[in-house]
Each structure stands twice: as structure tokens, then as C-alpha cells.
């Protein structure tokens, strides 16, 4: 069936970046499925052991395809950044990132690009959780993993309106991409989350687009046990950076007071309560009522201030 572009053309200068690593069996079908609305297809062979880049060049006759080879494996983020830089060199107005494993429906490329072309967004990303039927097809481990990672990403980026942060089907305007310091963005699987963090610091307009994934027999290169330890630490690092930059260097408001005072009161109450509980257990003495009141009031007041800060933070992301 012929692909018909919807109210756009190659004049929009849409480029697609495809990181290639262990995708030899899927890469040709992915490239063939990309419609004529795309002007350039940049494939980055990230030192693929299956030699996906050379294989694609030997079987594809698509004149839009350009393959860039890495001398060493940099990770999915490193491959995408190489493609981004090349897309900027050729003057692309919108740059789409699509994985080479066939899990993304390339017919939806225009759905990602349209909000950027019409000036409604600077960065768009797929969200696989809009449709119930699509969620039913998703592996259960991915569902629970996304719930956890989504909350961590919301907290670290301040983009409370987004979900499915590790969705790799994205599009960004060339003007916004020019503002990003790509060398500071993670080279590995934390790339998508780190992109959102950097975009939030630039106050970019980020928009979720309902795009269900396609699940087949492909295997993910992501090692779950690494994510469980690595991602929370990196999210915490970004959270601290964002708070310092947003609430103390770039601005100072009521939320700038609520968070430290809230944490201090909660920590004091929790610490005092733990000390008295342990001391009472070891010495078989009863904690005085005044101390218990002080512990309860400190914890409740601290928790209230922390919740007030989060309320301010979530409202700020929607403005």
C-alpha cells in the first residue's frame, strides 16, 4: 500500500536518525517503511557485531540512506548524538529518532513531527500507555518498570505531564537541538531520560504523542539489573541539579523555602523518633509525651511542606 504524506512534504526537511546495533534482521524493513515525507535517513552503525550498516548498504537502494560507522561502541545515546550532529549539518528542521528493531510504526512519524512543524512543541515523544489494548500487548515487566521510571523521571526533570520516559520514538526541532549541549547527555540507555532533563532546563515544550509499540521476537540489549541501580542514582543527581538551578540560581520563591525546611523538619522528627524508640527499647523506659508530640508535629509539618513544594513544582510544569 502506498504511503501518502499528510499535509507536509520534503520541504519540511525531516530527517530520521536510526541507531543500529544488533538489528541486522530488522533494519531493512524499518528503512523500507519510512515514507517520502522524510528527506534524509541517517543510520549510525554503533560498532555493530552483526555489521548492520554494511549489510544495509549492500541491500538498500534508497538514495536517502546515509550510514555512519563508529570505530567503537558508544551506546545508543552516543549513536543518536552522532546522527543528530549530521542532521544539523544538512540543515534539518525536524529530526526524528527511531530504533532499528522494528518496534516503532514509522507511519506515525508525521504524528510526531506535526506539533513541531506547527509551532506547538519543541520535542515530542511516543507514549505507549494511552490505549488499553496496546498496554495489554506489552510485557508485564515493562509495564511495572515504566511506572517506576516514569515517576523518577517526573521528579528529576520537573516534566510532570509526560509518561513513558524511555520511549525511543522521538522528534526534536533543529532550533532546539542546536541549544542542547549534546556532550553532557548520557551515551547509554539513560539517554532519553537525560534528554528530557536537559530540555526541561531549557524550558522546552515537551509533548507526549499516543504511539503504541509493536512487539515481536526482537531482544532488548538493556540489562535490567543495571537499570535498577544505575537509573535511580542518575535521576537523583539530575533532581538535585534541577532543584539548585531552578529554585536557587534562576529563581527564588516560596517553594525554595518549603523544600529545605520541610526536609529538615521531617528528618529531625524521624531521627528523634527513631532515637527515642531505640533508647526506650534498650533501656525499657517510656518516652515522654512531650517528646512524642514534638516527633509527630515535626514529621507532619515537614511532610506538609514537602507536599506543598511538590504541588508548586507540578503546577509550574503545566504553565
For residue 317, what pLDDT is reported?
59
pLDDT at 248 over 70: yes
**192/14 Cα distance (integer angstroms):** 20
User: CA-CA distances (angstroms) from residue 203 to 62, 119, 184, 238, 276?
Assistant: 37, 15, 17, 15, 46
Residue 288: alpha-carbon gap to chain centroid: 49
| Burial profile 49-77: b = 16 or more Cβ within 10 angstroms, e = fewer | eeebbebbeeebeeebbebbebeeebbbb
Average pLDDT over residues 65-85: 96
pLDDT at 127 over 70: yes
pLDDT in tens, 301-313: 999 999 999 999 9
Give which of 1, 63, 60 is closest to 32, Cα–Cα: 60
Q: What is the CATH number of domain 10-246?
A: 3.90.550.10
pLDDT in tens, 228-246: 778 899 999 999 999 999 9
Work out the mean pLDDT of the chain and round it to a whole number. Answer: 88
Average pLDDT over residues 91-103: 93
Q: Where are the domains of the chain?
A: 10-246, 253-318
Amino acid at each position: 500500500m502506498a504511503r501518502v504524506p499528510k499535509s507536509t512534504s520534503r520541504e519540511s526537511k525531516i530527517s530520521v536518525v536510526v541507531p543500529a546495533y544488533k538489528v541486522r534482521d530488522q533494519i531493512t524493513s524499518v528503512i523500507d517503511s519510512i515514507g517520502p515525507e522524510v528527506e534524509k535517513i541517517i543510520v549510525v552503525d554503533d560498532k555493530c557485531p552483526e555489521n548492520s550498516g554494511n549489510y544495509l548498504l549492500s541491500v538498500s537502494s534508497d538514495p536517502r540512506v546515509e550510514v555512519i560507522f563508529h570505530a567503537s561502541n558508544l551506546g545508543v545515546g552516543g549513536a543518536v548524538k552522532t546522527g543528530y550532529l549530521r542532521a544539523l549539518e544538512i540543515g534539518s528542521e525536524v529530526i526524528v529518532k527511531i530504533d532499528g528493531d522494528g518496534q516503532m510504526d514509522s507511519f506515525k512519524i508525521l504524528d510526531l513531527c506535526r506539533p513541531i512543524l506547527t509551532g506547538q512543541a519543541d520535542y515530542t515523544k511516543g507514549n505507549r500507555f494511552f490505549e488499553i489494548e496496546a498496554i495489554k500487548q506489552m510485557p508485564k515487566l515493562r509495564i511495572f518498570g515504566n511506572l517506576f521510571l516514569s515517576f523518577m523521571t517526573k521528579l528529576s526533570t520537573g516534566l510532570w505531564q509526560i509518561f513513558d520516559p524511555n520511549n525511543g520514538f522521538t522528534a526534536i526541532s533543529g532550533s532546539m537541538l542546536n541549544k542542547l549541549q549534546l556532550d553532557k547527555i548520557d551515551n547509554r540507555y539513560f539517554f532519553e531520560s537525560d534528554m528530557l532533563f536537559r530540555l526541561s532546563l531549557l524550558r522546552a515544550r515537551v509533548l507526549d504523542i499516543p504511539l503504541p509499540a509493536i512487539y515481536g521476537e526482537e531482544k532488548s540489549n538493556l540489562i535490567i539489573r543495571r537499570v535498577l541501580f544505575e537509573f535511580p542514582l542518575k535521576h537523583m543527581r539530575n533532581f538535585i541539579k534541577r532543584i539548585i538551578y531552578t529554585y536557587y540560581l534562576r529563581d527564588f520563591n516560596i517553594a525554595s523555602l518549603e523544600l529545605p525546611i520541610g526536609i529538615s523538619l521531617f528528618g529531625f522528627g524521624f531521627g528523634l523518633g527513631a532515637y527515642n524508640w531505640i533508647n526506650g527499647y534498650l533501656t525499657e523506659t517510656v518516652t515522654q509525651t512531650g517528646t512524642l508530640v514534638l516527633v509527630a508535629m515535626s514529621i507532619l509539618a515537614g511532610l506538609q511542606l514537602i507536599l506543598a513544594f511538590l504541588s508548586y513544582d507540578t503546577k509550574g510544569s503545566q504553565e
